[in-house]
């Protein structure tokens, strides 16, 4: 077994979590476009979606912009580095040790999947080996999650509200405290690509 | 700053990290206490979702730690009741995943028609939305008279709500849409009467439903069924417990019986995967073949 298949079979040792709502369908491809293999983190996306939206449409749309493989997530699926995982509609997605777990608990900030739920569970497992990204959106989901990521030593990037289709979500995240960078989705993607290339997960990024 | 044994475990080859050492200890002690004192075993539930629900209860009780919750739960049975309710209520909708109910009509109903008498198990029925949806579907397909539906849940309080068959009036618009997309043949409002902000479903729908307490973790198989539905219940279980419950279901299914899971659940990588064929892969409908 060569190094890359060995890595793929093991649980990712670092993670990027991304939250978005209104405008996310436009912002996400711009970000994902910058991520190339080999990418040392697992990438997990919670996008607010209509409960009856078809998982496959979003996955194939994002797959078109991503050089990394994109999957929708099933309950207890493993978490592999270099893969992009998309929260399914009408479930919360949680990081649960070395697998994903789903939940149908009540919506958080009217959202299911909720960004807070993803970020908080990811922070508990990945701590300082987590990078959180908040993109465009029309409500406060993600702000509490960002505070949690920060408390556990993770990195935070927020979309510049001036570039967002809706500024409320980035603004709410920015209001919680300092971040590691604010910019448009493309700029954030380029920063993440450096995170993903670093040999040691969590090492200082130039 | 998180680090310590958790981070080392991650770096050394992918084992799950301890999220916060002390919090994990407190959670383990709380679950152990509940098991020893009340005989409810949540120790093999999926940790992430369970942790979230425990903290929700702790905050609702005005407590700052899981140790505080442990003290109250062990000494105040009413608090345990409240926690049990938290752990039993799955926020769902009638005809949730309309495409599942369409597939049920198209692919499972023809099989069910071949039996003179139908035994159906809705496992983990919670407040009953799915059971009433199933009852309506069977009624419209002319199968209700020959069916006996066993609707079970761990929690008596939740079962009482299911028996009452009253759902929020405000939910009816969404339920109606789901029902129509699921191939509903009538006007959904024919099935309930409204009053006091609630929609009370036709008691005749519950005539062939037996609501009973049953604990998927600890109770044995109690019958043989032609159809078992357990949708979005096992997502709250860790993998070993899921395997255990799958054994219970396999044991409880008639030859060629049908098992239905939730939209993002699968038999793949479970202990009994090879014992079933896929009747509908997308909708997670499986048929026992051995």
Q: What's the pLDDT score for residue B16?
A: 45
ipTM of this complex > 0.85?
yes
Taking CB atoms and an 8 Å limit, are B52 and A91 in contact across chains? no
Q: Tokens 């979500």 sit at which residue?
A: A169
Residue B11 has pLDDT above 60, yes or no: no
Residue B6 has pLDDT above 80, yes or no: no
Residue of A nearest to B10 (CA): A13
User: % helix / strand / coil in chain B, to the nearest 5?
Assistant: 50, 20, 35
Confidence tier at B90 by pLDDT (50, 70, 90): confident
Q: What's the pLDDT score for residue A54?
A: 85
pLDDT tens-digit series, residues B241-277: 999 999 999 999 999 999 999 999 999 889 999 999 9
Following CA atoms A79, A85, A87, A93 in sequence, which dihedral angle do they give, to the nearest 10 degrees? 20
* Residues of chain B found within 8 Å of residue A101, distances taken between Cβ atoms: 46, 48-49, 235-236
- Give the mean pLDDT of B12-28: 67
Confidence tier at B4 by pLDDT (50, 70, 90): very low
Taking CB atoms and an 8 Å limit, are A13 and B15 in contact across chains? no
Q: What's the pLDDT score for residue B21?
A: 85
CA pair distance A41, B172, nearest whole angstrom: 43
Taking CB atoms and an 8 Å limit, are B17 and A126 in contact across chains? yes
| A54 carries an active-site annotation | no
- Give the mean pLDDT of B81-96: 89
Percent pLDDT > 70 in chain A is 91
CA pair distance B228, B286, nearest whole angstrom: 10
Q: What's the pLDDT score for residue B197?
A: 80
Residue B130 has pLDDT above 50, yes or no: yes
Q: What's the pLDDT score for residue B20?
A: 59
Q: Does B29 touch chain A (CB under 8 A)?
A: no
* Shortest CA gap A185–chain B (Å): 28
Burial level of A186, CB count in 10 A (0-12/13-18/19+)? middle
CA pair distance B17, A134, nearest whole angstrom: 24
Catalytic residue among A14, A34, A48, A83: A48
The three-class DSSP label of residue B71 is helix
A127 near B7, Cβ under 8 Å? yes
Residue of B nearest to A106 (CA): B91
The closest CB to that of A103, out of B7, B20, B235, belongs to: B235
pLDDT tens-digit series, residues A124-182: 999 999 999 999 999 999 999 999 999 999 999 999 999 999 999 999 999 999 999 99
| A80 carries an active-site annotation | no
Taking CB atoms and an 8 Å limit, are A73 and B91 in contact across chains? no
Nearest C-alpha neighbor of B38 from the set B217, B192, B209, B180: B217
Q: What is the pTM of this model?
A: 0.91
| A141 carries an active-site annotation | yes
pLDDT tens-digit series, residues B41-67: 999 999 999 999 999 999 999 999 999
Residue B111 has pLDDT above 70, yes or no: yes
Nearest C-alpha neighbor of A148 from the set A130, A170, A166: A130
Residue B17 has pLDDT above 50, yes or no: no
The closest CB to that of B235, out of A72, A75, A95, belongs to: A75
Low-confidence ranges of chain A (pLDDT < 70): 1-9, 198-206
Q: Does B53 touch chain A (CB under 8 A)?
A: yes
* Residues of chain A found within 8 Å of residue B13, distances taken between Cβ atoms: 10
Q: Does B96 touch chain A (CB under 8 A)?
A: yes
């Amino acid at each position: 077994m060569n190094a890359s298949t060995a890595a793929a079979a093991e649980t990712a040792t670092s993670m990027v979590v991304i939250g978005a709502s209104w405008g996310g369908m436009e912002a996400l491809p711009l970000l994902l476009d910058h991520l190339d293999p080999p990418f040392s983190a697992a990438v997990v996306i919670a996008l607010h979606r209509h409960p009856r939206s078809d998982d496959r449409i979003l996955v194939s749309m994002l797959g078109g912009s991503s050089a990394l493989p994109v999957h929708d997530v099933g309950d207890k699926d493993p978490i592999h580095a270099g893969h992009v995982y998309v929260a399914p509609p009408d479930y919360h997605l949680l990081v649960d040790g070395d697998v994903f777990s789903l939940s149908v608990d009540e919506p958080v900030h009217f959202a299911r999947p909720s960004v807070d739920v993803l970020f908080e569970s990811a922070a508990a497992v990945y701590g300082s080996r987590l990078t959180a990204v908040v993109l465009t959106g029309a409500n406060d989901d993600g702000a509490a999650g960002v505070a949690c990521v920060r408390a556990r030593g993770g990195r935070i990037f927020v979309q510049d509200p001036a570039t967002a289709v809706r500024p409320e979500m980035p603004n709410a995240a920015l209001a919680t405290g300092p971040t590691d960078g604010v910019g448009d989705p493309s700029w954030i993607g380029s920063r993440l690509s450096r995170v993903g290339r670093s040999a040691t997960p969590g090492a200082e990024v130039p | 700053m998180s680090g310590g044994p958790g981070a080392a475990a991650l770096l050394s080859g992918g084992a799950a990290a301890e999220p916060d050492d002390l919090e994990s200890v407190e959670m383990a002690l709380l679950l152990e206490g509940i098991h020893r004192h009340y005989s409810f075993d949540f120790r093999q539930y999926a940790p992430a979702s369970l942790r979230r629900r425990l903290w929700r209860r702790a905050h609702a009780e005005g407590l700052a730690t899981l140790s505080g919750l442990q003290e109250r739960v062990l000494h105040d049975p009413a608090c345990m009741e409240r926690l049990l309710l938290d752990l039993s209520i799955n926020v769902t909708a009638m005809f949730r995943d309309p495409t599942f109910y369409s597939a049920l009509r198209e692919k499972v109903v023809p099989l069910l028609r071949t039996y003179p008498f139908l035994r159906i198990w809705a496992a983990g029925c919670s407040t009953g939305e799915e059971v009433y949806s199933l009852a309506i579907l069977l009624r419209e397909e002319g199968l209700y008279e020959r069916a006996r539906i066993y609707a079970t849940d761990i929690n008596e309080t939740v079962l009482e709500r299911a028996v009452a068959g009253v759902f929020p009036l405000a939910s009816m618009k969404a339920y109606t849409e789901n029902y129509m997309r699921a191939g509903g043949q009538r006007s959904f409002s024919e099935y309930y009467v409204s009053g006091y902000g609630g929609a009370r479903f036709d008691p005749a729908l519950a005539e062939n439903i037996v609501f009973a307490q049953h604990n998927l973790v600890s109770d044995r198989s109690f019958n043989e069924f032609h159809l078992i539905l357990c949708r979005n219940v096992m997502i709250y279980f860790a993998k070993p417990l899921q395997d255990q419950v799958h054994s219970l279901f396999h044991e409880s299914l008639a030859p060629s019986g049908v098992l239905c899971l939730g939209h993002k659940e699968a038999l793949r990588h479970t202990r009994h995967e090879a014992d079933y064929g896929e009747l509908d892969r997308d909708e997670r409908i499986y048929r026992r073949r051995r």
